[in-house]
Amino acid sequence: MEKLTLQVPASAAGTRADVFLASAAEGLTRNAAQRLLLGGHVTAGGAPVEKSLRLEGGEVLEVEIPDPEPVDVRPQDIPLDVVYEDSDVIVVNKPKGMVVHPAPGHPYGTLVNALLSRCGDSLSGVGGELRPGIVHRIDKDTSGLIIAAKNDFAHRALTAQLADHSLARTYECVVTGNLREDSGTVDAPVGRCPADRKKMAVVPEGRRAVTHWEVIARYPGFTHVRCRLETGRTHQIRVHMAHIGHPILGDTVYGAKKPVPGLRGQCLHAVGLRFVHPRTGETVELSCPLPREFQEVLRKLAARA
């Protein structure tokens, strides 16, 4: 069990206890903060704190965060679209809707469950028990290429390439509005959104995040864009495109006005991947086609032009 002691600053006077707790405790969502408060895990002066309590400032909150319930990671025979595989790495074209690794709320049906079934014990352990082989992640409702390591040697080599930006990841997306330039770069730090801990945002205290983009095609009210990640922050492309006033089509979390019929989530696909093979030293460059629903969006936009 993790224990935290939080001093409520005077500037937080009048703030609800659950809102303050979610903003002050790293990685804690507001729902999780409310569960802690309702469970009596947050006290002030020995007395439980109600979630709706308005803080006065100056209080000292004692927070107990129970250990997470264990997630049983089991192999599942789930078909995978394997783009590349050898004894060191496997690259999969992940479908939209698939979660990358098990977590509370998503114990089964994940990419990890499928990889365990296909690869058995030949996945690296660097990422921990819940993330065997996982080098990087893509969102549940983003499709496309993701690489996993079959041993610790490959995992460490690929992680180093992520750190020095030599592992190149290319995405395509459709954004709302028309970008004025044909190409550009968004260099803006990304961190937890102060108002909603489940979201990310461009914030001064965030980690440096760089996205390079270029226009592929223009349509009335929309733009087909290719993005190359220099860094890999959570939701980076979604946050950056929204930050410059062009949220991704269908991404209602980050500013798109409404869902798109026939499109699950955001119109975003990891189309390309380039890395140096950890054992041979040769450059491996891979690509995969746009999913059918993405192609259908482009067809409809072209028909309207």
Active-site residue numbers? 139
What are residue 90's DSSP bridge partners?
A: 85, 148
100 contacts 137 by C-beta, under 8 angstroms:
yes
* DSSP-assigned letter for residue 255: T
With a CB cutoff of 8 Å and minimum separation 6, the contacts of 164 are none
Instruction: Encode 162-172: b = buried (16+ Cβ within 10 Å), e = exposed.
Output: beeeebebbbb
Give the Cα-Cα-Cα angle 259, 31, 237 (nearest 5 degrees): 45
Instruction: State the residue for tokens 């809102």.
Output: 19
Q: Which amino acid is at 31?
A: N
Nearest residue to 276 (alpha-carbon basis) of 154, 187, 176, 136: 154
Per-residue HEC secondary structure of 183-231 comes to EEEEECCEEEECCEEEEEEECCCCECCEEEEEEEEEECCEEEEEEEECC
Alpha-carbon distance of 148 to 124, in angstroms, equals 8
